[in-house]
Amino acid sequence: MCGIFGITNSSKASFLTYIALYSLQHRGQESCGIAVFGKNGYKYYNSMGLVQEVFNSEILKMLEGEYAIGHVRYSTTGSSTITNSQPLFFRTKFGEFAVAHNGNIVNSEELKKELSKRGSIFQTTTDSEIIAHLISLSDRKDFVDALCDGLGKLKGAYSFLFLYQDCLICARDPWGFRPLVVGRKGDSFIFTSETCAIDCCGYEVYDEIFPGEIGIVKNGRYEKFKFKNVEKYFRCIFEQVYFARPDSLVCERTVFSSRYFVGKYLAEEYKVDADIVSGVPDSGVAYAIGYAQKSNMKFMPVFMKNHYSPRSFLQPNQDLREFIADLKLSPIKDNIKGKKIILIDDSLVRGTTSKKIISKLRSAGASRIYFLIGSPPVKGPCYYGIDTPTEKELIANKMDIDGIKKFIGVDDLYYVSIENLIRACGNGDRNFCTACFDKNYPVL
């Protein structure tokens, strides 16, 4: 749960990186940082907090250079501290470089033990640092060859950015869990997690770095190549279900459209007599619009979202999550009182947030509540960089459907089928990881 961004050949590199990190803020809210390279070498600045709290015009002015990478972090491996904030910076036999990582390396403990035995001294507790040690210890003569050598030892999810002086390099793992896209404006290129960060800089979406590929920009020239041949890959489907921004493109379709099509499939799978269809803001709304259009029903908002409170899923402890969930949604009472309501949310994970949301609808006078979910029951934790709870905490592992209905207080509960979720998100592509729903983990 992180966002990465890199840019080349721009006189506004640090400013555009700042703007882009701001647009990727939904991917991580604990810490952020920017590293730049220019005629005076490297400059970098990392801190805990939100992008708008951390950076100001003076810091951005200090970050002078035409090449930059940036990172927003939510910790899934390693604690939430300034030492673990990224980009990380290293001095090696190949020279200096900065690195930013999105994902989770599943064999990190094993690799760390092995590297420590060979003399590596780790500065952080993140898994992201491992690649720097692997590069440094490689016997290859060239940085990119050493990188390929290092990547071959990693298992799990990684989209990496490297700022190697005036060369920007990216790599996406052979399973393809986390996204990595390319933007372009003239001879200036961007590598980033989501297309929304390309749009906000005024660049065009130019390419995607596919699983097992490395992208390089040097001297205004972009090239990419395979470091590993891949037959089947596993994009994280949860990116489209919940995590990514609705205006970002995945599988040549906006995330909004994927959710909208899931809503339409839900309407085909589950028909119910109700007065209105609504969605839990923000992500649930696209599903609800799809459902309402397909079933010729009226879409009405039932909650006002306070956009200035943090996302509950991103808060590290349960008390804070519940408190924030309570703050951020206010019922629109006139739209609720006496109504039979179909309410749609993207997913049902622990059930505690949904329970509170439903109780708000009840208090505002809803007569019946049909709760529809835009993904199948979440049954397994994620090992690839999305912070889902342990297996025991997942409500679908604790109760059957009737138990869940009773616990959250709804009249009926229905989940979309996995087939229709893949159909809606894939736009013809079926290369998805769906392990948190079916426990078919592609790599462990």
Q: Which is nearer to ligand SF4, 361 or 433 (CB)?
A: 433
Give whichever of 24 and 244 is closer to ligand SF4, judged by the CB atom: 244
CB of 200 to ligand SF4, least distance (A): 25
First to last CA, the chain: 18
Q: How far apart are CA 381 and CA 376, in angstroms?
A: 14
Please, what is the minimum distance in Å from the beta carbon of residue 182 to ligand SF4? 22
Q: Minimal distance in Å, beta carbon 151 to ligand SF4?
A: 19
Nearest C-alpha neighbor of 147 from the set 228, 32, 87: 228
Closest CA to 1 of 296, 382, 255, 392: 382
Least separation in angstroms between residue 389's CB and ligand SF4 is: 12
Identify the burial level of 334 via C-beta atoms within 10 angstroms of its C-beta, where 0-12 means exposed, 13-18 middle and 19 or more buried: exposed
- Which residue number, 5 or 175, has a Cβ lying nearer to ligand SF4? 175
Q: In the bound complex, what is the minimum distance in angstroms from residue 380's beta carbon to ligand SF4? A: 7
Cβ proximity to ligand SF4, 99 vs 382, nearer residue: 382
Return the ∠ at Cα 261 (arms to 410 and 158), rounded to 5°.
Answer: 95
Amino acid at 332: I
Locate the DSSP E strands across 186-231. Answer: 188-192, 204-208, 213-218, 221-226
Closer by beta carbon to ligand SF4, 237 or else 267: 237
Q: Residues in the site for ligand SF4, rule: CB under 6 A? A: 177, 236-238, 382, 384, 386, 433-436
| Strand (E) or helix (H) holding 359 | helix 352-363
CA gap 315, 252 in Å, rounded: 31
Minimal distance, residue 65 CB to ligand SF4, in Å: 34
Residue with Cβ nearer ligand SF4 (72 or 106): 106
Q: Is 236 a catalytic residue?
A: no
Contact in structure between 167 and 69 (CB atoms under 8 Å): no
Q: What is the pairing mode between strands 340-345 and 276-279? A: parallel
Per DSSP bridges, beta strands 156-164 and 167-172 are antiparallel
Q: Which amino acid is at 322?
A: E
**Whole-number Å distance between alpha carbons of 71 and 184:** 19
Question: What one-letter code names the amino acid at 177?
Answer: F
| Residues belonging to the active site | 2
